[in-house]
Structure 1
Amino acid sequence: MYTRSLVVALAVQASFAVASPLFERAVDFYSPSARGGSMLDNAGSGEGEPLNIIISGLSSSTVLDDAGFLNFARAIGFSTECFGIHIGDPQSANLGDGNGPVNQTIELRQDFGNANTGTCLESLLGGNHFRMYRQNGSLADSGALFLATSKEEDVTEGHTIVPDGYDIGRNELVAAAVGTTSFGGVTYSTMARNITGLLAPGSAGVNHGIAQDGIVTLLTVTII
């Protein structure tokens, strides 16, 4: 015969057992390399682009879904590709979450202040752009978004990355994001923190052989 106190204790224990998966996302991110992933995506050439910005899994949940992230991106000067036209194959990344290599969720470009057609200017003149990947597999379900960010040349140069373009792209995106921004009636407050040790500095394995400083910037985005 169970006593009342034992029944209560078992009920409490069971509730924690059921609720525990909810706490798996209470982290900024998981290091991809801890579970066989990489902080370089796969550019299809045997090399990769650095995942040099992470949107923290502790950000407001709406920011981390596809529609909410696109709205945030527009708040900081990025939008979908010119008339939805994309040239080139998607790149994949293994974030060590158990999903293996997964193609980019979306690729966004600098919109020069016009979320509707401004990315057409980026396609012609060059500018900043990024690919986004989501860490949501069963082995590391942080919900964090990993961005491969870089600044590229104009169309006459074939959209190759500018010298030091990975660091420049990261720094320009972070500068646009930090502080208070808004789009579509939603206002965001963004804080940044630089992290070392996730990404090896230098050019080894990096697409186009462009060296980068090894800094990954963590952005925590809160809807206010």
Structure 2
Amino acid sequence: MHSLSFLLLALPATLALHVPRQAVDFFDPRQNGGSMLDDTGNGLGEPLNVIISGLSSSEVLSEEGIVNYAKAIGFSEECLGIHLGDPQSANLGDGNGPVNQTIELRQDYGDPDLGTCLESLIGGNHFRVFIQNGPQQPTGALFLAVSQEEDVTQGHTITPDGYNIGRDLLVANALGDTSFNGVNYHTVGRNITGLLPVGTQGVNHGEC
């Protein structure tokens, strides 16, 4: 795993920018007892390798908003609304302690209605969403655990280098101008180093 996260600033071009809460990109969870790894329930975690800035439009920084934004960049809700497996949790250092993921979204292969059923079968990219909205650091930023996974016959394990691959594919889809359901988005981003350690210590599946 590289010590690299990616920060996205997403603005719907058809909506006014409402700078939420603390008017900062995000708060480093490690500064208040949190972690840049989520908790998979087995003592290991997956890297929170993409952050949607708290300076993004408030229309993006909600469960409904991230779902529409996700559909604009090639992801959608899980197949027929069915989620298999236990949710993962994360401590974002915002005063809420460990909190379960808000939602999990999967690559839709060009079909936002049924495409995630294909992803469940053959694998692909997916991400979990955690919202930094606790009483101590209510930035509104969305922390994403993004990874590329194998097909169902491999138990949806992470592909080799799947955390980096998943992050880079999501970012490539997100940057620039996208749209869905009448909402046009403009997204810019930048690399952030130092939030995640180099190596696989503590990382689920032992992948980089």
With structure 2 as the length reference, what TM-score do the two structures score?
0.90
Report the equivalent of 2:177: 180
- What's the offset of the Cα at 1:196? 0.5
Report the equivalent of 1:73: 70
- What's the offset of the Cα at 1:192? 1.1
Instruction: Check 1:108–1:23 CA distance in 2 against 1; reply closer, same or farther (3 A cut).
Output: closer
The SS at the match of 1:64 is: coil
Q: Which runs of 5 or more structure 1 residues have no equivalent in the other structure?
A: 1-21, 212-224
Report the equivalent of 2:83: 86
Q: 2:20 touches 2:140 (CA, 8 Å); kept in 1?
A: no
Question: What does 1:80-159 correspond to in 2, within 5 Å?
Answer: 80-159=77-156
Structure 1 stretches of 4+ moved >3 Å: none
Q: Does 1:164 align with 2:161?
A: yes
Q: d(CA) in 2 for partners of 1:33 and 1:82?
A: 34
- What's the offset of the Cα at 1:59? 0.3
- What's the offset of the Cα at 1:25? 1.9
Q: Which runs of 5 or more structure 2 residues have no equivalent in the other structure?
A: 1-18
Equivalent residues, number: 190
User: Any idea what the Cα deviations from partners look like across 1:20-42, whole Å, max 9, x if unmatched?
Assistant: xx985200000000000000000
Q: Whose radius of gyration is greater, 1 or 2?
A: 1
The SS at the match of 2:59 is: helix
Report the equivalent of 2:54: 57
Q: 2:21 touches 2:140 (CA, 8 Å); kept in 1?
A: no
User: Any idea what the Cα deviations from partners look like across 1:63-90, whole Å, max 9, x if unmatched?
Assistant: 0011111100000000000001111000
Q: Choose which of 193, 196, 199 in structure 2 pairs with 1:196.
A: 193
Q: Choose which of 22, 39, 43 in structure 2 pairs with 1:42.
A: 39
Given residue 113 of structure 2, which amino acid in structure 1 is its aligned partner? N
Which one has a larger percent helix, Structure 1 or Structure 2? 1
User: Any idea what the Cα deviations from partners look like across 1:92-114, whole Å, max 9, x if unmatched?
Assistant: 00000000000000000000010
* Larger relative contact order (Cα-Cα within 8 Å, sequence gap ≥ 6): 2
- What's the offset of the Cα at 1:115? 0.4
With structure 1 as the length reference, what TM-score do the two structures score?
0.83
Instruction: Indicate the RMSD between aligned Cα atoms, in angstroms.
Output: 1.0
